[in-house]
Amino acid sequence: MPNVSRTFDKKHLTLDKKNIKSIVNGKWSIVRPGFTLIEILLALFIIIAILAIFFAASSTYVSSRGTNLQGIAAKIASCEIEQLRKAAFASIVNGGPTNIGAPCNQDVTKLPSGQATRTISDYSGNTEIKLATILVTWVDNSANKNIKMETLLYEFGL
């Protein structure tokens, strides 16, 4: 069997945007550019991993934001309770709900649609003991949230 030499003719090789024609084992074959299955699976894996990280981070942000707002509300209520404990018993008048005053109302603006009120009443009909109720309300993710703190104030101290 004689040696057969095959020559490559450059004018038979045509390139266009859709197909690349080439000679493989002496036959013309069409090679279409594209992605292999492994490349597609690897890209999908990377996209899914990035989405998982994004969703985990966003849920952590929402959770920490809610905790931060609760902390601000608790700070407001605690401040008002301390102001009432410092005040003279005779100056604490029954009534409410009334908006709390300075210095405790400074952080109310940090709460979305925030409002802080206090209500003072006699405890079980006893005029020597007053029940102070502090209610801090705000809106978070279209849901009404609140923190309520109560304390007893005695005419002769703790």
Give the pLDDT score at 25.
59
Dihedral class, residue 26 (left if φ above 0, else alpha if ψ from -120 to 50, else beta): left
Give the pLDDT score at 58.
81
In this predicted structure, the answer to whether residue 41 has a pLDDT above a threshold of 60 is yes
- Of 103, 111, 99, 102, the closest CA to residue 74 belongs to 111
Give the pLDDT score at 65.
79
The residues near 66 (Cβ < 8 Å, ≥ 6 apart) are 140, 145
Tokens of 9: 């003719």
Give the pLDDT score at 144.
92
- Of 23, 152, 140, the closest CA to residue 72 belongs to 140
Give the pLDDT score at 156.
80
Give the pLDDT score at 35.
81
Give the pLDDT score at 77.
93
- Determine phi and psi for 8, rounding to 5 degrees: -105, 120
How does pLDDT run across 128-147, given as a tens digit for each residue?
Answer: 899 999 999 999 888 899 99
> What is the chain's mean pLDDT, rounded?
82
Give the pLDDT score at 158.
61
Q: Which position has the higher pLDDT, 15 or 134? A: 134
**DSSP 8-state secondary structure symbol assigned to residue 17:** S
Return the bridge partners of 125, or none: none
Q: Which position has the higher pLDDT, 146 or 5? A: 146
Mean pLDDT of 47-63: 86
Give the pLDDT score at 5.
47
At 100, the amino acid letter reads: I
Residue spans of the domains in the chain: they are 37-154
Give the angle subtended at the CA of 126 by the CAs of 156 and 89, to the nearest 5°. Answer: 35
Out of 32-41, 71-80, 122-131, which region has the weakest mean confidence (pLDDT)?
Answer: 32-41
